[in-house]
Amino acid sequence: MPQTVAPSPLIATMVAAARLGGDIARRHFSACGQAKVDEKAARDYVTAADVAVEAAIAAALAEAYPDWSINGEEKAGDRDHGPDAPRFLIDPIDGTTNFAWGIPFFGVVIALLRGDRIDAGVVYDPMRDELFHAERGHGAFLDGVRLRVRDDRDIDHAVIGASLPIPGQVKSMNVARYREILMEVMDHAATMRRMGSAALSIAYVAASRHDAFFEDGLSPHDYAASVLIVEEAGGLVGGFDGGAIPKTGAVLAATPAVHPWLVERFRG
């Protein structure tokens, strides 16, 4: 049986905060999709649960690290201690559309940044009670068990996660070309999946449940924690072209075996 590894005090605090938020999300969740939904923008939803989860997480993190900044997607409990302070990013419910429609696949996400460097990340699936975490230089873990990406599946045997973007979401390339790439992947991969939570879908690459995942128009709140988890598990993460993730939020996470094939399509 794989040995579990005890987390650092920082990770333990982030994990406790994520679990607290997950408990609140579960209490709000209705499998019949009865959540009251507000639109922040077209097809961009927020529920009362998003705000409640974020406020609870922010309060827990502020109590443990009163001099560190907090930036949440819903701005519930934000604190700014200046550009030099470590900064927590919170996405209280990544996959709000799933949550609001009663689909039990969404994540509670916390990342710690020092400057632009992601130093720690936690992604919690409250419905399956699964918790991914990573701390820079210390590996990636799922429920305390170390993760390493598989590197023995080529594109013909790969499960690829991808976004089916809403209008205006594709910002890093021509929309028609993006759709062509989706079709190319469908024609070559073993199968494709669109799960509805970018944070969990990227973390699934670290767990070898996905061999790759790509989506455009993401924010660091969505991807920062999972990017570190994949990197610490030996995967590759960057923009569609294989470079750094651009400000437009194009994220491609993949195993070393599949990454070059996908980058070639995006560059072409």
Cα dist from 81 to 13, 71, 147, 200, 248, whole Å: 19, 11, 34, 29, 26
Query: Is 187 considered catalytic here?
Result: no
Active-site residue flag, 94: yes
- Asked whether the predicted pLDDT for residue 41 surpasses 60, the reply is no
Poorest-pLDDT segment among 48-52, 243-247, 257-261: 48-52
What pTM was estimated for this model as a whole?
0.94
**Angstrom distance (rounded) from CA 35 to CA 37:** 6
> Active-site residue among 50, 74, 222, 231?
222
The pLDDT confidence band at residue 166, using thresholds 50, 70 and 90, is confident
Catalytic residue among 13, 47, 96, 255: 96
Q: What is the mean pLDDT of the chain?
A: 93
- Do 212 and 224 meet the contact criterion of CB atoms below 8 Å apart? no
pLDDT at 7: 87
Please say if 216 is a catalytic residue.
no
pLDDT in tens, 206-237: 999 999 999 999 999 999 999 999 999 999 99
Question: Is 166 a known active-site residue?
Answer: no
What is the tens place of the pLDDT at every residue in 196-206?
999 999 999 99
The question of whether 84 is a catalytic residue gets the answer: no
